Structure 1
Amino acid sequence: MINKLLFQKVDNSSLIVFRVIFGTLITLEAWGAIFTGWIKRALIEPQFTFNFIGFDFLQPLPGNGMYFYYIIMGVFGVFVTIGYKYKWSISAFTVMWTCVYLMQKSNYNNHYYLLILICIFMMLVPANKYYSVDVKQNPAIKEIAMPRWVLLFIILQLWIVYTYASVAKFYPDWLNGTVPQMLMERKKDYWLVGQILQQKWTHTCVLYFGILFDLLVVPLMLYRKTRLPMFIAAIFFHLFNSYVFRIGIFPYLSLAFCLFFFSAEIVHRKFLKEKPFYNKKEVEIPRYSKLLKAFFVVWFIFQIGMPLRHWLIKGDVLWTEEGHRMSWRMMLRSKSGVTSYKIVNKTTGKTSFLKKGDYLTKKQIGSASSKPDVIWQFSQRIKKMYQEKGEEVEIYVNAKISVNKKPRKQLIDPEVNMAEAEYNYFFHNDWILLHEDED
């Protein structure tokens, strides 16, 4: 039964068309980062980047190296699009994209993590078996079918992402309209729609549509009678996000996912008319089927468990940020406040306050003022800078932070020497103050 579910062959038109769209989008993502100035702002102008903790060895290439890095990534994207040396091309892009993701988090975005997951999916699937240079060079690999697990894998992955994104919104500041209102306040100067976005009815629509779309999009796309209306809603939802929030390729990637929900015959008829349509029901069990099943089990246990980890960590994740990343907690809060770093030089006895602007970009200052893990990393960086001069220091952080425009509260224990503090990735760090008894 399981073997039939996973390994029965189905037409591969949706996967082939998705590969072409996906390759085009990752090419635009890579080369677009050059022309929009993102690489300069995020990877060249900073003196250093705040990497994911444990990946300190990943730092941007010196000089203009990151421009060449992204040019090469874009070339691999082109190769994915045309299906040239496909396995090598998608694998190389995946490694390069993952390295950039891990080397900087001041510009963290859940969609960047999603792209890693989709790249891994594309590494596993036979997306170059038709309409590709690889097939032109080696016709023996040509196929018009694929195992059904390809569809099941991507649909289940998307269901997990969308469901967690919806459930995360079930908290007071979203349900009372505070967060939607704050999101729209920054868009008041937008041409044509700026003032519409400031209306209360708009905030109410964003509130409910944000929850309901994420919660229902996958099940309603799976059901034939609601598929087309849901697809129309998806077009509106993702184009709205593209224009209002300016989040790059991801609204269009999300629309491309819809290919896997429509009948393969429809996709075939619309995009690959010259391709034979596969309508048999053969089951072909590969030699590595047990390994593949084990991978699926581990993968989806991780995908379901990872976003839940913050429930095992003391404190409110909106405040502590512990367990926030890679959990599909998107557009849920805004942080602001005032943070200072007091340096006590143990060698000279002198006390001074660090000027963050001497070391950090504007974007980095925001992270080093409100995100505990970045505050800890910056403290370690300061400590190292003084040690290189032969001096030992104590570092005390006074961070008074507001979440969603609430009254400011102390985020970091001002009595803790952050130069000697340790960071625990899996449990609560006691130097992050909790205020649950005050709420």
Structure 2
Amino acid sequence: MRKWLNTSIDNSGLILFRILFGVLIMFESFGALLLGWVNTVFIQTKFTFHFIGFDFLELLHGIKMYYYFVAMGVLGLLIALGFFYRWVIIGFTILWTLVYFAQKEFYNNHYYFVVLIAFIMCFLPANKRWSLDVHFFPKISTTQVPRWMPFLLIFQVGILYFYASLAKIYPDWLNGTFASILLSGYSASSFWLELINQKWFVLAYSYLGLFYDLFIIPALLWKRTRIFAILASLFFHLSNALFLKIGIFPFFALSFIVLFLDYQNMNYSLFKTNEVRKMALTNSFTNLYKLIFIPFFIFQFLLPIRHFFIKGNVLFTEEGHRLSWRMMLSERRGKLRIKVLNKQTKEIFYHNILADLNAKQINIVSHSPDMIWQYCQKIKEQYIFPIEIYVESFVSVNRRPYYRLIDQKVNMAEAKFDYFFHNEWILLQELN
């Protein structure tokens, strides 16, 4: 295995992936501006809900975010062009990571995935061909790369698919309940509604999605099944792009196919040369790379399973939900009222949520315990007199009855948040 990973291979796949990656993040950044996403999240809100512990990211709010996203779009273009690639990819990674942690209202797996892939790309020589860097500095040009370098990207996407398939092994996915809910929101046509009411159809959708996530990477790696895996990927991701409206992720996922293709054929197609290069052994997996990537991937393996070690059902409590490839697995609806007690006068009143949050924020905060906790801390800062805060919160998962989410007897102004273990103010509920 070590010998196989240290073999030099043609770098055509890595070079093409760099170009696709740059183009996609350029479209994502400029699209966020042109489609009003930046305006909705960072301009028309009083504040955003950053990841807990990242209070300094409150600075990423207001008109300056227009320039911030323009900068990321320009960096995406420069990545595609391979212009001062190393500095540009590092700069983009920092900017994207900061804006990712700055808001949770539009939490999405692919935002996190871009963080991880951009980080890996910081260490890969993806500018050694088809780049402005080669044009200005011809001495850096090379046609080979150690196999383990592009394999890092394959390994990361493999982790995503594996845990995405693992997360689907729960009753509401396996019996088609969530598939029916998911698909019902994307068309009002009588034919479509009749189709998704057929048990066989929602079960087929559920199990095909599960099996796709579980087997797609092995199928792409094995030459005999690769063409079928590519066709399945095209159908799966383009269908998701058409019906589920999930941004660049389907196209981002498809871009990884270039890392599995026959490098010799790709080299001829892209660079119009069919010279056969000797695949030499390298010793490039140095101690520096080991120090970076061994802990990195250990962390990537452990983080998605942390919810198994936290008391309660993650589908209800959402403790251990984020950063775990648990996307589009359930529908949550919430009801929220926040009661404030003036400790001096003993007056009790309900806080005006509409004065602080827009409709999107209210919708997601009402069923997200960590964001409820954050909001309570912000409410506490608004009053000049000492207060206690009590939450009336109810959540429905996959259209079940509403259950109480937050302990109404706990003063949330004084409650603490625990990242790693169960927060006792979040109530437990088995979902039957």
TM-score bracket, normalised by the shorter chain, equals: over 0.9
Q: 1:375 to 1:219 in 2, by over 3 A?
A: same
Structure 1 residue 197 displacement after superposition: 5.0
CA deviations 1:23-58 (Å, max 9, x no partner) are 100100000000111101111111000000000110
Correspondence for 1:265: 264
Contact kept, 8 Å, 2:316 with 2:429, in 1: the verdict is no
Correspondence for 1:364: 361
Correspondence for 2:329: 332
Runs (5+) with no aligned partner, structure 1: none
Q: Which amino acid aligns with 1:85?
A: F
TM-score in terms of structure 1 length: 0.94
Q: 1:346 to 1:297 in 2, by over 3 A?
A: same
Correspondence for 2:422: 428
Structure 1 residue 192 displacement after superposition: 8.9
CA deviations 1:360-412 (Å, max 9, x no partner) are 011111222111100000000000111xxx21110000111111111111110
Aligned counterparts of 1:187 and 1:178: Cα–Cα separation in 2:
16
Would you say 1:403 and 2:402 are equivalent positions? no
Contact kept, 8 Å, 2:392 with 2:408, in 1: the verdict is yes
CA deviations 1:99-153 (Å, max 9, x no partner) are 1100000100011100101101111110000111001100000000001111321
Aligned counterparts of 1:198 and 1:420: Cα–Cα separation in 2:
47
Structure 1 residue 295 displacement after superposition: 2.4
Correspondence for 1:279: 277
SS at match of 2:42: helix
Aligned counterparts of 1:140 and 1:278: Cα–Cα separation in 2:
21
Q: Which moved more, 1:57-66 or 1:196-205?
A: 196-205
Aligned counterparts of 2:145 and 2:191: Cα–Cα separation in 1:
46
Contact kept, 8 Å, 2:7 with 2:146, in 1: the verdict is yes
Would you say 1:170 and 2:169 are equivalent positions? yes
Aligned counterparts of 1:344 and 1:278: Cα–Cα separation in 2:
77
SS at match of 1:402: strand
Correspondence for 2:131: 132
Aligned counterparts of 1:415 and 1:316: Cα–Cα separation in 2:
21
Q: Which amino acid aligns with 2:318?
A: E
Aligned counterparts of 1:36 and 1:194: Cα–Cα separation in 2:
29
Aligned pairs for 1:107-256 (under 5 A) are 107-189=106-188, 196=195, 199-256=198-255
SS at match of 2:215: helix
Q: 1:237 to 1:391 in 2, by over 3 A?
A: same
Q: Which amino acid aligns with 1:12?
A: N
Aligned residues: CA RMSD: 1.8
SS at match of 2:421: coil
Aligned counterparts of 2:239 and 2:366: Cα–Cα separation in 1:
31
Structure 1 residue 5 displacement after superposition: 3.3
Aligned counterparts of 1:416 and 1:105: Cα–Cα separation in 2:
24
Aligned counterparts of 1:382 and 1:116: Cα–Cα separation in 2:
31
Contact kept, 8 Å, 1:144 with 1:277, in 2: the verdict is no
Aligned pairs for 1:76-115 (under 5 A) are 76-115=75-114
Contact kept, 8 Å, 1:49 with 1:104, in 2: the verdict is yes
Correspondence for 1:68: 67
Correspondence for 1:15: 14
CA deviations 1:53-78 (Å, max 9, x no partner) are 00011025454211111001111111
Would you say 1:321 and 2:321 are equivalent positions? no
Aligned counterparts of 1:215 and 1:193: Cα–Cα separation in 2:
27
Aligned counterparts of 1:24 and 1:183: Cα–Cα separation in 2:
30
Q: Taking every aligned residue pair, what percent have the same amino acid on both sides?
A: 44
Structure 1 residue 202 displacement after superposition: 3.3
SS at match of 2:327: coil
Contact kept, 8 Å, 1:395 with 1:418, in 2: the verdict is yes
SS at match of 2:411: coil
TM-score in terms of structure 2 length: 0.96
Runs (5+) with no aligned partner, structure 2: none
Q: Which moved more, 1:318-327 or 1:61-70?
A: 61-70
